[in-house]
Structures are given as C-alpha cells and as structure tokens.
C-alpha cells in the first residue's frame, strides 16, 4: 500500500512541477539546433509561408506563436524567435531555426549549434 501511495505522489509531482514551470514562463531546454537552408520555401505547419528573413523556429510540441529566447552556448549570442513550424525530426535536435535566426547567432558555417532556449 505504501509503495502504491509513493508511486501516485511521484507521478503527480512529475506532472505538476513541469506544468507550474511552464505556467510561470520559465520552461527551459537545451540541445542541438539546426537551421533551414536560405533557399527553402514552402508552408510551415502553422499554415504560413516560410520566410527566411524572419526570426522563426520549429519545435516538436510548443504551441505556435510561442516566443523563445535562444542562446548559442558557444558564442553567447541570443535571438528571440516565434515557433511557427513542427520539427526537427532528427534525433537529438531540439530546434530548427530560420536562416535569419541562424545568421544572427553566427552558426551558418557550423551548421549545428548547441543552444539553450527559454519560453519568454
């Protein structure tokens, strides 16, 4: 009985703590970011046309319209992007950035960058 109660408390805590963090606007994550090619064209999952000159990003689960502050951990450069697409779909990557956002982070020559991101 005690083990069952401990499992219920642990599961409830695991669900409520991330929800509280998200509600306070402090959701943070880190990992590898890639970026869209400058010549990419098409519609995003949000239904808008991709614009390489705008500061946007793709994330697997965050709601469209979410503002993220993204920092390249190598250069400490920071950009603010708006989630308007789904992805990336390559294991280990957390964001696909627009070409403009990648340019501002000075990551084009590297192709990939380790970033931290937080919901604004």
Q: Got the DSSP string for 23-51?
A: HTT--EEEEEEEE--TT--SB-TTSSBP-
Q: Phi/psi of residue 90, each to 5°?
A: -110, 130
* Confidence (pLDDT) at 1: 54
* Confidence (pLDDT) at 25: 52
Cα(40)–Cα(23) distance, rounded to whole angstroms? Answer: 34
Q: What is the DSSP secondary-structure string of 48-84?
A: SBP-TTS-EEE-SSSPTT-EEEEEETTT--EEEEEEE
Tokens of residue 92, six digits: 């280990």
Q: Check: CATH 2.40.40.10 for 26-119? A: yes
Q: Phi/psi of residue 28, each to 5°?
A: -130, 150
Q: What global pTM score does this model have?
A: 0.77
* Confidence (pLDDT) at 9: 40
* Confidence (pLDDT) at 58: 99
Q: Phi/psi of residue 50, each to 5°?
A: -65, 135
Q: Phi/psi of residue 74, each to 5°?
A: -80, -40
* Confidence (pLDDT) at 23: 44
- Can you give the pLDDT of all 120 residues of the chain as single tens digits? 555 444 444 444 444 444 434 445 569 999 999 999 989 999 999 999 999 999 999 999 999 999 999 999 999 999 999 999 999 999 999 999 999 999 999 999 999 999 999 999
């Amino acid at each position: 009985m005690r083990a069952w109660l401990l499992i219920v408390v642990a599961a409830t805590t695991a669900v409520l703590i991330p929800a509280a963090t998200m509600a306070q606007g402090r959701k943070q994550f880190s990992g590898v970011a890639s970026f869209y090619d400058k010549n990419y064209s098409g519609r995003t999952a949000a239904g808008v046309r991709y614009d390489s000159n705008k500061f946007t990003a793709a994330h697997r689960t965050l709601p469209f319209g979410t503002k993220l502050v993204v920092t390249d951990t190598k250069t400490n450069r920071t950009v603010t992007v708006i989630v308007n697409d789904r992805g990336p779909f390559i294991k280990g990557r957390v964001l696909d950035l627009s070409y403009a956002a990648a340019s501002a982070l000075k990551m084009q020559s590297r192709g990939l960058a380790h970033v931290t991101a937080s919901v604004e």
